[in-house]
């Protein structure tokens, strides 16, 4: 299990992290979301030892994460960092060897991952000759080649076409189901909602909400959407809770008191639709970040 505890980090006067904590359990996928500059990359870089925090800790299975512990992690950094003039099969195998694999095992694993990621016939191509999306697949292969115990991925889905998104999502789900904790950042909230057990929302260096999507939904404002045909004018103002007209015959109420609204709506006209909106992760994100 990965635990990031109370990280603080400044760059000069700029406070990048102001007490960030998160944890990712085996078999769980943690989606890290936040606006540009919120602190996701900085948190991941500290986790991977690329940056040193001003204070705070990173624990792996309850103990301080060490350099040798990190060599068992798979990392997809934001800056990517492939060698443009190296053939991709050799490059993936090279990273496998850096992580302690023998050359023969690393070569086999590199070939297996290239096949798996749909690049089986591109092993002798140079990275610079691949499209950006395919370079990203290679970067994923680099992160996975040594069968890591933990995956830390900085925006792995950015710039991918829908097929590559599906391939990436399937591979991550498989690793997660195999017991590997996975943390990834993304601005693609519908993907995070679909894939992740737990979501962390970071805003200006502070974790403003963490939980399952269902938990975050339950904490958010509930919006009751009501359609009333032929309603008497201004009826919504007599209910006594905040109301907004959102179209012909349709209103939204910020309240948990559905019976109160239902009674007023029934008295006002013919109720044709009545129910709570299910907020999307994007709605939750906007609310938490405001």
Residues that bind ligand ATP (CB under 6 A): 11, 14, 16, 34, 36-42
Query: Shortest distance, CB of residue 265 to ligand ATP, whole angstroms?
Result: 42
Q: Which two tokens stand for residue 209?
A: 């909400």
**Residue among 16 and 138 whose Cβ is closer to ligand ATP:** 16
Instruction: Give the span between the Cα atoms of 233 and 216, in whole angstroms.
Output: 36
Backbone angles phi and psi of 197, in degrees to 5: -75, -40
Q: Which two tokens stand for residue 217?
A: 């939904």
10 Å CB burial of residue 117 (0-12, 13-18, 19+) is buried
**Residue among 208 and 252 whose Cβ is closer to ligand ATP:** 208
Query: Shortest distance, CB of residue 285 to ligand ATP, whole angstroms?
Result: 13
DSSP letters, 108-176, are HHHHHHHHHTT-TT-TTSBGGGS-HHHHHHHHHHHHHTT--SEEEESSTTTT--HHHHHHHHHHHHHHH
Give the residue ranges of DSSP H helices in 220-280: 258-268
User: Tokens 């076409």 sit at which residue?
Assistant: 161
Q: Which two tokens stand for residue 255?
A: 């309240």
Q: Which residues pair with 273 in a beta bridge?
A: 227
**Residue among 47 and 91 whose Cβ is closer to ligand ATP:** 47
Query: Shortest distance, CB of residue 44 to ligand ATP, whole angstroms?
Result: 8
Helix (H, G, I), strand (E, B) or coil at 234: coil
**Residue among 16 and 152 whose Cβ is closer to ligand ATP:** 16
Query: Shortest distance, CB of residue 152 to ligand ATP, whole angstroms?
Result: 13
Query: Shortest distance, CB of residue 59 to ligand ATP, whole angstroms?
Result: 20
Query: Shortest distance, CB of residue 8 to ligand ATP, whole angstroms?
Result: 12
**Residue among 38 and 88 whose Cβ is closer to ligand ATP:** 38
**Residue among 18 and 249 whose Cβ is closer to ligand ATP:** 18
**Residue among 42 and 176 whose Cβ is closer to ligand ATP:** 42
Query: Shortest distance, CB of residue 47 to ligand ATP, whole angstroms?
Result: 12
Q: Starting from the edge strand earliest in sequence, which strands make up the sheet with 223-229, in order? A: 243-247, 250-254, 223-229, 270-276
């Amino acid at each position: 299990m990965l635990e990031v505890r109370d990280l603080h980090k400044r760059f000069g006067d700029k406070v990048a992290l102001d007490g960030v904590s998160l944890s990712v359990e085996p078999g769980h996928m943690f989606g890290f979301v936040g606006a540009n500059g919120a602190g996701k990359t900085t948190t991941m870089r500290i986790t991977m030892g690329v940056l040193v925090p001003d204070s705070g800790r990173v624990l792996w299975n309850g103990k301080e994460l060490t350099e040798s512990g990190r060599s068992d992690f798979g990392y997809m950094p934001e800056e990517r960092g492939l060698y443009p003039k190296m053939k991709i099969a050799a490059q993936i195998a090279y990273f496998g060897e850096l992580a302690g694999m023998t050359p023969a095992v690393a070569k086999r694993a590199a070939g297996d991952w290239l096949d798996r990621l749909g690049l089986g016939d591109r092993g002798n191509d140079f990275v610079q000759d691949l499209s950006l999306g395919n370079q990203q697949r290679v970067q994923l292969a680099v992160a996975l080649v040594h069968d890591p115990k933990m995956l830390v991925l900085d925006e792995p889905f950015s710039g991918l076409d829908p097929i590559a998104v599906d391939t990436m999502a399937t591979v991550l789900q498989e690793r997660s189901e195999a017991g590997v904790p996975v943390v990834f950042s993304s601005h693609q909230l519908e993907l995070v909602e679909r894939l992740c057990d737990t979501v962390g929302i970071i805003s200006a260096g502070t974790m403003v909400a963490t939980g399952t999507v269902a938990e975050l939904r339950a904490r958010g404002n509930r919006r009751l959407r009501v359609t009333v045909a032929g309603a008497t004018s201004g009826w919504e103002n007599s209910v006594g809770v905040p109301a907004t007209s959102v179209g012909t015959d349709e209103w939204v109420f910020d309240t948990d008191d559905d019976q109160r609204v239902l009674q007023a709506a029934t008295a006002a006209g013919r109720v044709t639709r009545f129910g709570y909106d299910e907020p999307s992760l994007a709605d939750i994100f906007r609310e938490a970040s405001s």
